[in-house]
Amino acid sequence: MFKNKTILITGGAGFIGSHTCVELLNGGHEIVVVDNFANSKPKAIDIVQQLSGKSLKFYEGDICDANLLERIFAENDISCVIHFAGYKAVAESVAQPLMYYHNNVYGTIVLLEVMKKHGCKSMIFSSSATVYGIPETAPITEEARLGVINPYGRTKLVIEDICRDLSASDSEWCFSLLRYFNPVGAHESGKLGEDPNGIPNNLMPVIMQAASGKIAELKVFGNDYPTRDGTCIRDYIHVVDLAKGHVAALNCMKQGVEAYNLGTGNGYSVLEMIEAFGRVNNVNIPYQIASRRQGDAAECWSEPRKAERELGWKAQLGLEQMCRDAWEFVQKNKK
Ligand code: WQD
């Protein structure tokens, strides 16, 4: 559908965005990237081009800047947008909700207005399993009740609702809402990986900080949940599988709005992640059991068969590969 058409990637220098750019370039797509480096680094753009052996067009800036977006659409024949740009730290969103609503929701509105003005009515949106809030059951299907428990999650749900309302008002719009579970891992080259600015909140980067001695120990947020070992269960998915899910969605865009769970369908507990990471990489991970983190669900893992049926996509890489690739990236990119 979009072969030889130009795809705009917002947030394309970020963790998932950069891996998706590699897969798009490998697949022969022409891409334009816009990123303000709020949670990424300029070197990611060079690495994406090195790894794919292809070039891309890059604009530095913010999706809230309508003039910049106008210039991008005036200078390029954009047929579809893959929209990653957004803040994603749950705790930060609780402390600074206005910053999250401005950047994530207002930024998306500006983007959609410029897209509409230029006749580009196709968007893949970087949504999240966080729109399910505290799931009632697991595994979670796309039909599960939506409900959010923090401002970050609410920005994702509001943007999904904006897409649904836009589609209802104009049937020409095509939206694919990709609900990520827990992205981890790194590109096999060890050159691209999770390289956030600031202190990470997610489990895998913290495991690696404890393994490398950057922190004295990992705090396990609660071991009294109703799960097989008392710690929370999540659906960790390799970032390269996630990236390939975006290419699959791009090749299957259709009018209307479709949500897809991008997960493996397997859940692993915090203690199982610690054990697997230590075993695969032959490292010790000092940890202690601490109190629960507010807002954590006991279990959150996907039923991913809709993406398999409709997109022809299924996660291929297992937990050991996730642990190996994540650690390889950290080892090769020590600061
Ligand atoms: C996983 C498990 C923690 C850190 C994610 C992302 C969030 C958003 C929503 C994208 C939980 C436990 C963690 C630590 C711990 N992503 N943990 N000690 O909670 O599923 O949220 O999805 O949309 O950005 O974080 O993932 O990696 O934060 O936590 O025990 O130091 O690890 O309690 O059970 P989560 P996570």
Give the model confidence (pLDDT) of 66-110 as tens digits. 999 999 999 999 999 999 999 999 999 999 999 999 999 999 999
Rounded alpha-carbon distances, angstroms, from residue 330 to 145, 187, 271? 37, 11, 21
Q: Which atom of ligand 1 is nearest to the CA of 181?
A: 22
- Which pLDDT value is given to residue 191? 96
Question: For the CA atoms of the chain, what is the radius of gyration?
Answer: 19
* Gap between the Cα atoms of 76 and 33, Å rounded: 11
Percent of the chain whose pLDDT exceeds 90: 94
Q: 88 CB under 6 A from ligand 1?
A: yes
Tell me, what DSSP letter sits at residue 134? S
Query: How are beta strands 218-221 and 182-184 bridged, if at all?
Result: unpaired
Q: Indicate which residues carry an active-site annotation.
A: 152
What number is the average pLDDT over the span 297-321? 98
Residue 194, pLDDT score: 87
Q: Is 54 in the pocket of ligand 1 (CB under 6 A)?
A: no
- Find the helix or strand (DSSP H, E) in which 30 lies: strand 30-35
Query: How many angstroms separate the most distant Cα atoms in the chain?
Result: 56
Cβ–Cβ < 8 Å for 37, 10? no
What does the pLDDT average to over 187-209?
88
Ligand 1 atom showing the smallest separation from residue 156 Cα: 23
Residue 130 has pLDDT above 60, yes or no: yes
Over 80: is that where the pLDDT of 195 sits? Answer: no
Atom number in ligand 1 closest to CA 292: 33
Cis peptide preceding 42, ω within 30 of 0: no
Containing H/E element for 21?
Answer: helix 15-26
Q: What's the rounded mean pLDDT across residues 201-221?
A: 94
Report whether pLDDT(198) > 80. no
Strand order in the sheet with 268-269: 268-269, 233-234, 299-300
Beta strand ranges found along 84-203 (DSSP E): 122-128, 174-180, 182-184
Please give the pLDDT value at position 172: 98
> pTM for the full model?
0.96
- Determine if ligand 1 sits within 6 Å of the CB of residue 203: yes
pLDDT at 200 over 90: no
201 lines ligand 1 (CB under 6 A): yes
Residues 6+ apart with CB under 8 A from 242: 16, 19, 20, 180, 183, 262
Q: How far apart are CA 300 and CA 129, in angstroms?
A: 8
Chain-centre distance for alpha carbon 124: 12
* Whether pLDDT at 1 is above 70: no
206 lines ligand 1 (CB under 6 A): yes
Residue 196 is predicted with a pLDDT of: 67
Using pLDDT thresholds of 50, 70 and 90, give the confidence band for residue 4: low
Residue of 100, 160, 202 to test ligand 1 pocket, by largest number of atoms within 8 Å of CB: 202
Element (H, E) at 50: helix 43-52
* Token pair 């940890």 in the structure block, residue: 287
- Angle 197-19-140 from CA coordinates, rounded to 5°: 90
- Residue 245, pLDDT score: 98
